[in-house]
Chain A
């Protein structure tokens, strides 16, 4: 199968076939990560720039390892703050990087739409590693990959996502990805964290955790930013944990073989009780592990074919 997208800006733009192809490709790359010599020459001579405007250990490291295992030259650039604060516009920064002829820029940025902005202005491929509250496609793909690994197929599953929906780019990508693959997606969170019209993306909205996770196959908990405490959004982390944390016996409501996911990093005792965080249903470390394979697939598929330079 061919793969035409030059950029990965969001799951919304991908077809179901393309999503499945990415997951299948990741399946093939997964084996490399268990080898003694974890490297293949696939992207030899390609340069991947990880341009991160927001702090990120997990995603950046995952993309970096993915690139290195495919023999790409990976370079990390941590840019701080908004372009205004920095005195250089995003376009200028990007053009400077482009002058060094990278093949792929992997970008994380605090502004929604920043990756599309970049893709419209540069020649190289752009992979969105999270833009504002918009999308985080590689996370959604690794979530789907992990669910597929544990459940065989995603079609017909019920996936509950609980937490700060408003500020989560992961949720938006997950809704697109999982609904395209045939899952039913449910959301729950306090009213202050449920954005208007989110159901139009293809999900059902609940205002309590219990109803959302009842008979679910997958329960995905979102990280609650402690900084939100004291804003008008939640009165306290303590109260949040009581009503929207996955703790105690709440998992009994979900299916017996349900799995628990979290995009990390976890706030133990807040959105996830320690017993559940360390419990047998938790597949969080699988998600991290699969993240590398999925990102290898993305780098490979974006670099492959005739999308980039004419001769290479």
Chain B
């Protein structure tokens, strides 16, 4: 079956989206006080790192950045073929922090639920917000992002692919259609 690839965002598009999200985060949280970024392994972690740089460029402050792996919190233990577990690396306290969870694509919402569970086990934050590069719809849980790079209605069998370069910088977003 031939696969059709459609470019949704190019590099500039990704950067514009991240810049806008950064501004929205700063605006919403009135600055960087108590603000932390937590990226969901692996795509979300790369984007969180980029967001950290963008925020730093705007505010001159490097907000704390953590990486979370949600494998241990997933609800599909018995049906997964890939059992690899990534490491969670959050070298700061989460108590009373404002957490912005970052992921590349929001789909069913199950990963975000797992991530919230994982974050809550590490400490009791002030609040948890959600930043997403692409929201492709098809939610199975009552989860709504606070910051969205691009809303993209998709069919269930389509795939969204975010391309990263060797330095883990997002280069483009593609829609793959069979």
Contact = CB atoms under 8 A, between A and B. Distances in A.
Interface string B119-137: 0011100000000000000
Contacts of B83: 1-3, 25, 300-301, 304-305
B69 A305 contact: no
A3 B83 CA distance: 7
Contacts of B71: 28, 42
Contacts, number: 67
Contacts of B121: 35, 37, 39-40
B77 A303 contact: yes
A36 B122 CA distance: 7
Given A1-B82, A40-B72, A41-B117, A27 B77 contact: no
B167 interface: no
B87 A2 contact: no
A41 B73 contact: yes
A312 B78 contact: yes
B73 A308 contact: no
Contacts of A25: 83-85
Interface in A253-312: 300-301, 303-306, 308-309, 311-312
A46 to B, nearest CB: 8
Given A40-B73, A41-B73, A27 B79 contact: no
Nearest to A308: B78
A31 B91 CA distance: 11
Interface string B61-81: 000000001011100011111
A145 interface: no
Interface in B82-98: 82-89
Contacts of B72: 29, 32, 40-42, 70, 300
Contacts of A147: none
B78 A300 contact: no
Given A41-B73, A42-B72, A42-B77, A300 B85 contact: yes
Instruction: Tell me the interface secondary structure of chain A in the complex.
Output: loop
Given A35-B121, A37-B121, A29 B85 contact: yes
A104 to B, nearest CB: 13
Interface string A34-56: 01110111110000000000000
Interface residues of B, number: 22
Contact of A305 (B78, B117, B118): B78
B46 to A, nearest CB: 18
A305 B88 CA distance: 21
Nearest to B86: A28
Contact of B123 (A36, A300, A303): A36
Given A35-B121, A35-B122, A309 B84 contact: no
A16 B83 CA distance: 17
B128 to A, nearest CB: 16
A292 to B, nearest CB: 15
Contacts of A1: 82-84
Contacts of A303: 77-78
A17 interface: no
Contact of B87 (A31, A301, A305): A31
- Among A27, A32, A40, find the residue whose CB has the most chain B CB atoms closer than 10 A: A40
A92 interface: no
B78 A304 contact: yes
Contacts of B85: 25, 28-29, 300
A204 interface: no
B81 A305 contact: yes
B9 to A, nearest CB: 31
Contact of A31 (B79, B81, B84, B88): B88
A149 to B, nearest CB: 14
Contacts of B122: 35-37
A43 B88 contact: no
A308 B82 CA distance: 15
Given A1-B82, A2-B83, A306-B79, 10 more contacts: A1-B83, A25-B85, A27-B87, A31-B88, A37-B121, A37-B122, A40-B118, A42-B72, A300-B85, A301-B83
Interface of B: 69, 71-73, 77-89, 117-118, 121-123
18 contacts: A28-B69, A28-B71, A29-B72, A29-B85, A31-B87, A31-B88, A35-B122, A36-B122, A40-B72, A40-B73, A41-B117, A42-B73, A300-B83, A301-B83, A303-B78, A305-B78, A306-B78, A312-B78
